[in-house]
């Protein structure tokens, strides 16, 4: 029999889809469904992670389109960034040419895969028409106090020669990353990160810390893991600040989350960067020496130095020693800690090291023993040795202790403001002119975009070297001034691109508000979990900021988030650098697509195996053989050649097939709703076997069997679109299966028709039958086709016209 050859048909169907505008977003929108895959970074070619990501969005978009939604499924390019610069440098070209070539290649790859995008909405972040809106938004943020210009100690990658946001410094844990702890490396190149003091632009994302944190509770369509990562990143902690008197030096305020342990504070520890410490260092040689030692080590551990001052405990009045200790971080809380060795692991270890007293002030409520002073007791409990607070539970004590005059309620966050500038070429120029008279002045709208100057290869920042580009008049006073030569973090580009897709050609603003309000939120957003914090937090921040600027109604951008798992090969992530990549097309684009969808639940990792790929391949062939056989038989009958007979009258056992078809529709629909494409494939494999057995057993009952094949084809269409078009064509169905209606169970069909008073079906419903049955005058026959055969059809006909002769006909001749 014939073999299915996707390569032969792919180009043809791509062409037809394009000609028919199948994937264009409708203008009039009744049921908007916005399906988005995280747009790819233009690194050169499509990899297996992309394929998996976009196979998921494509299947969902196709399914929802067939189910009657107005679907928006766009694609674009995250085109700015350092790798393009590095690649250009190595290849002796410029970042733009390199990026454009990558885009061409990747677009071809996507098209070959058969993904159905509305290409009329394609956006590319390195187009001036796109990045001018980054600049526009920057100036709006500036006008609305969402941008700050501040001297800051920043992360500096000596290899990339640029500043990095905290989130772009990789460490073993979030706390470390946040705290710029030693040992952090650049997320791109892995070089150890250094610290430098520079004047910098920040987006004040910390203004939204509470909102972003609280909003997570309502994001029920997001994986819990992502929500937890964001909570962790924002790091909100409720607690208190306790003031300790340090004599002539005034007071030191320490942030604590465990106010209930305050009676157990046996020392005070200050971060090396604390204001008081620099004062003390002037007269205290030990402190000065310690600061030097800390500055030149990567691992200060539990080191510390006792100072000459003491602090008065505000509750007991006792004098406690004051230390400078590297484990206290400069930019967390107040940069000062009250040390409670009896109830905190780190304080206990520090006390061990420096011979400080350990005191127990909290004990287990149930009276069970603790192992103090050897091991700290870190749980909540009941207060002891705490003066008038003895006997209170920890929670109640934390409340009551707030009333003390030395205590103030406080919340801290790990989140820091978002550092924007990069000293690199391939990004959006920050639209600022530095004027000796007026300071930094934003570039007026009329002068946007500030386009990148021509690329020149230098070791530093090419924008610095662009003398002509750099020197301009101040937009305010006209004095000789200089452009800002830093470009924006490329995460700015991706923070609002989902909005640009909604009105990609709009010229008055980044997006048209009315359209945005109509489409948002993004119904389904799919991408890798490496974006759990960075990109997805920025996206949420931008949406809220834009809402506050009056540009949007929505405050959350994405309703449902899916993180696709990793494709592994020989136990490792599949990638070019790991040397275990399989090119998407090695096994045929559609086999690859089917395989990545059928291998596992979208969120799970799975192993690439040749065996599983060939299972996907065999499944395609099985579907194709089943339908092409049917088509062959039909044409033989038409030519009155010997062909396998079909029945046009049903037997009681045919009802079984009808029920199985309906059951399959229901099951597959539910799996599509839940994004369990692997189960869709499983159901359809079962269904194909069933149809085959049915057809081999005896002449099939034509009406039910052809319906079964039609249903199979429509259910396949979201995950194997080329194959499904080919089958649809073999079945001689009208139009394209990509635009066909999602199948309904016969009972649903009947019910809907009764509801709408349309009990009589059209002739199209019985065309399969008329193919083989000689009907003298097809137009004259009104046929009611419905489920459970005689009864259902009878019920329908009765509802239409109890006296109709057709009722008798149904009872006599089945469907005809
Ligand atoms: C006293 C205390 C007693 C604390 C106790 C904890 C337990 P975590 O540990 O994540 O809950 N802290 C405050 N500022 C700090 C800084 N700048 N650098 C390092 N540590 C700092 O974070 C809250 C705790 O971290 C705070 O509560 C404080 O120690 C410490 F039984 O105060 B606690
Ligand atoms: Zn000026």
ipTM: 0.93
Q: What is the pLDDT of residue 750?
A: 56
Q: Are residues 51 and 146 in the same domain?
A: no
pLDDT confidence bin for 261, thresholds 50/70/90: very high
Question: In this prediction, what percent of the chain has a pLDDT beyond 90?
Answer: 68
Q: Are residues 278 and 363 in the same domain?
A: yes
Task: Indicate whether 36 and 170 sit together in one domain.
Answer: no
Q: Write down the pLDDT at residue 338.
A: 98
Per-residue pLDDT, averaged over 717-739, amounts to: 96
What pLDDT was estimated at residue 181? 42
Residue 808 included in any domain: yes
731 versus 757: the higher-pLDDT residue is 731
Structure confidence at residue 90 as a pLDDT band (50, 70, 90):
confident
Contact 44, 86 (CB under 8 A): no
Residues 436 and 306 in one domain: no
Mean pLDDT for 113-118 is: 96
Per-residue pLDDT of 430-447, as tens digits, reads 999 999 999 999 999 999
The CATH number of the domain where 289 resides is what?
3.90.740.10
pLDDT reported for residue 561: 97
Residue 455 belongs to some domain of the structure? yes
- How far, in Å, is the centroid of ligand 2 from the Cα of 145? 21
Residues with a beta carbon under 5 angstroms from ion ligand 2:
435, 437-438, 474, 476-477, 479
Last residue of a domain, one of 391, 412, 433: 412
Q: Is the pLDDT of residue 409 over 70?
A: yes
Position 755 scores a pLDDT of 54
Whether the predicted pLDDT of 175 surpasses 50: no
pLDDT at 171: 73
Domain boundary among 373, 397, 412: 412
- Choose which residue among 256, 262, 304, 326 to substitute to test ligand 1 binding: the one with the highest number of ligand atoms within 8 A of its C-beta: 256
Nearest residue (CA) to ligand 1, atom 14: 333
Q: Which ligand is in closest contact with the Cα of 346?
A: 1
- Long-range contacts (CB closer than 8 Å, 24 or more residues apart) made by 396-399: 397/259, 397/260, 398/240, 398/258, 398/259, 398/260
Q: What pLDDT, on a 0 to 100 scale, did the predictor assign at position 787?
A: 32
Nearest to 400 by CA among 417, 414, 415, 386: 386
Distance, in Å, from the CA atom of 169 to the CA atom of 89, rounded to the nearest integer, reads 24
| pLDDT confidence band for 741 (50 / 70 / 90) | very high
Q: Which of the four pLDDT bands, split at 50, 70 and 90, describes residue 164? A: confident
Q: Residue 178: what pLDDT?
A: 40
* CA–centroid distance, residue 347 to ligand 1 (Å): 9
Q: Where are the alpha helices (DSSP H) in 21-156?
A: 48-66, 82-91, 95-113, 128-143
pLDDT grade, residue 100 (50/70/90)? very high
Find the 444 Cα to ligand 2 centroid distance in Å.
13
Range name among 481-485, 586-590, 718-722 with the lowest pLDDT average = 586-590
User: Do 702 and 802 lie in a common domain?
Assistant: no
pLDDT score, position 542: 98
Least reliable range by pLDDT among 8-12, 123-127, 179-183, 619-623: 179-183
Task: Please name which ligand lies nearest the alpha carbon of 440.
Answer: 2
Higher pLDDT, 255 or 644: 255
The neighbouring-strand residues paired with 304 are 325
Per-residue pLDDT, 582? 64
Peptide bond preceding 683 in cis form (omega within 30 of 0) = no
pLDDT of residue 7: 81
Q: How far apart are CA 244 and CA 276, in angstroms?
A: 13
Q: How confident is the model at residue 299 (pLDDT cuts 50, 70, 90)?
A: confident
Whether residue 387 sits in one domain with residue 481: no
Q: Is residue 232 part of a domain?
A: no
The stretch 541-554 carries a mean pLDDT of 97
How confident is the model over 359-370, as pLDDT tens digits? 999 999 999 999
pTM exceeds 0.90: no
Question: How far is CA 18 from each of CA 78, 131, 287, rounded to the nearest angstrom?
Answer: 24, 29, 73
DSSP string spanning 325-384?
ETTS-TTSTTSEEEE-TTT-HHHHHHHHHHT------EE-TT-----TTTS---S--EE-
Higher pLDDT, 416 or 146: 146
Distances (CA, A) of 13 to 7, 35, 63: 11, 22, 18
Residue 577: per-residue pLDDT? 65
Nearest ligand, CA 437: 2
Same domain, residue pair 119 and 151:
no
User: Are residues 616 and 6 in contact, defined by beta-carbon separation less than 8 angstroms?
Assistant: no
* End-of-domain residue from the set 603, 629, 653: 603
Q: Is the pLDDT of residue 614 over 50?
A: yes
Identify which of 344, 347, 397, 407 to mutate to test ligand 1's pocket (most ligand atoms within 8 A of the CB): 344
Q: Is residue 8 part of a domain?
A: no
Do 663 and 794 lie in a common domain?
Answer: no
Task: Name the pairing type of β-strands 407-412 and 147-157.
Answer: unpaired
The model's confidence at residue 155, banded by pLDDT at 50, 70 and 90, is: confident
Contact 70, 134 (CB under 8 A): no
Q: Are residues 452 and 582 both part of a single domain?
A: no
Task: Give me the chain's average pLDDT, please.
Answer: 88
Instruction: Report the pLDDT value the prediction gives residue 808, as an integer from 0 to 100.
Output: 41
Least confident of 95-109, 164-178, 256-270, 463-477: 164-178
Name the more confident of 46 and 341. Answer: 341
What pLDDT sits at residue 579? 66
> Which residues does 220 contact at the CB level (< 8 Å), separation at least 6?
none
pLDDT beyond 50 at 523: yes
At 49, list the tokens.
């992670």
Whether residue 404 is predicted with pLDDT greater than 50 in this model: the reply is yes
pLDDT average, residue stretch 259-272: 98
Question: Which residue CA neighbors atom 23 of ligand 1 most closely?
Answer: 257
Both tokens assigned to 768:
């399969």
Report if residue 719 sits inside a domain.
yes
* Shared-domain flag, residues 112 and 158: no
| In a domain? residue 231 | no
Pocket test for ligand 1, best of 173, 234, 235, 255 (most atoms within 8 A of CB): 255
Q: Is the pLDDT of residue 324 over 70?
A: yes
Best of 231, 238, 274, 333 to mutate for ligand 1, by most ligand atoms within 8 A of CB? 333
Verify that 574 and 668 share a domain, yes or no. Answer: no
Which domain range does residue 35 map to?
A: 22-126+498-603
When pLDDT is averaged across residues 598-621 and rounded to a whole number, the result is 90
Q: What's the confidence (pLDDT) of residue 722?
A: 96
Tell me the pLDDT band of 58, cut-offs 50, 70 and 90. Answer: very high
Report residue 85's pLDDT band, with 50, 70 and 90 as the boundaries: confident
When pLDDT is cut at 50, 70 and 90, the band that residue 296 belongs to is confident
**What is the secondary structure of 221-249 as a DSSP string?**
TS-HHHHHHHHHHHT-EEEEEEEEE-GGG
Angle at 595 between CA 559 and CA 721, to 5 degrees: 70
pLDDT of residue 654: 82
* CATH number for the domain that contains residue 680: 1.10.730.10
Segment 451-458 shows an average pLDDT of: 91
What is the pLDDT averaged over residues 766-783? Answer: 34
Q: What is the CATH number of the domain that holds 107?
A: 3.40.50.620
In a domain, 764, yes or no: yes
Let me know whether 269 and 336 are in one domain. Answer: yes
List all residues whose CB is within 6 A of at least one atom of ligand 1. Answer: 237, 255-258, 261, 271, 328-329, 332-333, 335, 337-338, 340, 343-344
The ligand that comes nearest to the alpha carbon of residue 474 is 2
**Ligand nearest to C-alpha 432:** 2
Ligand 2 centre and the CA of 436: distance in Å? Answer: 6
Model pLDDT for residues 678-688, shown as the tens digit of each residue: 999 999 999 99
How much distance in Å is there from the Cα of 424 to the middle of ligand 2? 25
State the Cα–Cα distance between residues 377 and 96, nearest whole angstrom: 60
Number of domains, the chain: 5
For residue 198, is pLDDT > 70? yes
Residue 217 belongs to a domain? no
Output the six-digit token pair for 137.
């938004």
At 431 the pLDDT is: 98
Atom of ligand 1 nearest to the CA of 235: 10
């Amino acid at each position: 029999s014939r073999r299915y050859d996707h390569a032969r048909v792919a180009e043809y169907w791509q062409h037809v889809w394009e000609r028919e505008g199948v994937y264009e977003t409708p203008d009039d929108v009744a049921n908007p469904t916005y399906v988005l895959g995280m747009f790819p970074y233009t690194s050169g070619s499509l990899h297996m992670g992309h394929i998996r990501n976009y196979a998921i969005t494509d299947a969902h978009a196709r399914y929802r389109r067939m189910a009657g939604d107005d679907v928006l499924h766009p694609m674009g390019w995250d085109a700015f960034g350092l790798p393009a610069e590095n690649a250009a440098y190595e290849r002796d070209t410029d970042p733009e040419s390199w990026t454009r070539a990558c885009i061409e290649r990747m677009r071809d790859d996507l098209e070959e895969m058969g993904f159905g995008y509305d290409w009329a909405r394609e956006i590319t972040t390195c187009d001036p028409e796109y990045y001018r809106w980054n600049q526009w938004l920057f100036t709006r943020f500036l006008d609305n106090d969402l941008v700050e210009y501040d001297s800051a100690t920043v992360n500096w990658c000596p290899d990339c020669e640029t500043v990095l946001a905290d989130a772009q410094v990789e460490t073993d844990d979030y706390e470390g990353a946040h705290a710029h702890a030693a040992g952090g490396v650049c997320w791109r190149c892995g070089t150890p990160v250094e610290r430098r003091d520079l004047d910098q632009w920040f987006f004040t994302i910390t203004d939204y810390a509470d909102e972003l944190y609280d909003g997570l509770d309502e994001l029920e369509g997001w994986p819990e893991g992502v929500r937890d990562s964001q909570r962790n990143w924002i790091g909100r902690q409720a607690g208190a600040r306790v003031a300790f008197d340090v004599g002539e030096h005034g007071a030191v305020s320490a942030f604590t989350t465990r106010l209930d342990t305050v009676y157990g504070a046996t020392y005070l520890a200050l971060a090396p960067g604390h204001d008081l410490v620099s004062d003390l260092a002037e007269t205290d040689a030990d402190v000065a020496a310690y600061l030097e030692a800390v500055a030149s080590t990567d691992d200060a551990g539990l080191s510390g130095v006792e100072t000459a001052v003491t602090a008065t405990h505000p509750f007991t009045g006792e004098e406690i020693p004051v230390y400078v200790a590297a484990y206290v971080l400069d930019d967390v809380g107040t940069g000062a800690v009250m040390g409670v060795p009896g109830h905190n692991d780190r304080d206990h270890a520090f006390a061990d090291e420096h011979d400080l007293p350990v005191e127990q002030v909290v004990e287990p409520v149930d009276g069970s023993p603790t192992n103090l002073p050897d091991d700290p007791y870190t749980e909540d409990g009941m207060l002891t040795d705490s003066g008038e607070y003895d006997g209170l539970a920890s929670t109640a004590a934390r409340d009551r202790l707030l009333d003390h005059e030395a205590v103030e309620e406080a919340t801290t966050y790990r989140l820091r403001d978002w550092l924007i500038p990069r000293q690199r070429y391939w990004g959006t120029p920050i639209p600022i002119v530095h004027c000796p008279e007026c300071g930094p002045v934003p570039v007026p709208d009329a002068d946007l975009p500030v386009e990148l100057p021509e690329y020149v290869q230098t070791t530093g920042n090419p924008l610095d070297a662009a003398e002509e580009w750099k020197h301009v008049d101040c937009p305010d006073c006209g004095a000789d001034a200089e452009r800002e030569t830093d470009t924006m973090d490329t995460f700015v580009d991706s923070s609002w691109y989902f909005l640009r897709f909604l009105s990609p050609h709009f010229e008055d603003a980044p997006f048209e508000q009315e359209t945005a309000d109509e489409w948002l939120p993004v119904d389904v957003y799919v991408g890798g979990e490496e974006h759990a914090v960075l990109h997805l937090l920025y996206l949420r921040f931008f949406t809220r900021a834009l809402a506050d600027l009056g540009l949007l109604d929505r405050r959350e951008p994405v309703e449902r988030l899916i993180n696709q798992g990793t494709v592994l090969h020989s136990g490792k992530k599949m990638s070019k650098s790991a040397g275990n990549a399989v090119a998407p097309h090695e096994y045929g684009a559609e086999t690859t697509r089917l395989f990545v969808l059928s291998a596992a639940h979208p969120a799970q990792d799975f192993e690439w195996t040749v065996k599983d790929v060939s299972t996907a391949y065999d499944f395609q062939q099985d579907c194709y053989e089943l339908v092409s056989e049917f088509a062959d038989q039909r044409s033989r009958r038409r030519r009155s050649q010997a062909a396998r007979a079909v029945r046009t009258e049903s037997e009681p056992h045919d009802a079984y097939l009808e029920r199985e078809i309906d059951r399959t529709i229901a099951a597959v629909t539910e799996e599509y709703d839940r994004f369990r494409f692997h189960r869709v494939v499983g159901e359809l494999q079962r269904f194909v076997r069933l149809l085959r057995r049915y057809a081999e057993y005896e002449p099939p009952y034509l009406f039910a069997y052809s319906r079964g094949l039609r249903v199979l084809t429509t259910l396949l269409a979201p995950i194997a679109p080329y194959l499904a078009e080919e089958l649809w064509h073999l079945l001689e169905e009208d139009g394209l299966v990509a635009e066909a209606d999602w199948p309904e169970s016969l009972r649903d069909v009947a019910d809907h028709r009764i509801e709408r008073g349309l009990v009589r079906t059209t002739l199209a419903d019985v065309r399969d039958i008329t193919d083989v049955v000689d009907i003298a005058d097809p137009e004259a026959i009104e046929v009611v086709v419905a489920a459970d055969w005689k009864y259902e059809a009878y019920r329908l006909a009765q509802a239409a016209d109890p006296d109709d002769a057709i009722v008798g006909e149904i009872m006599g001749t089945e469907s005809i």
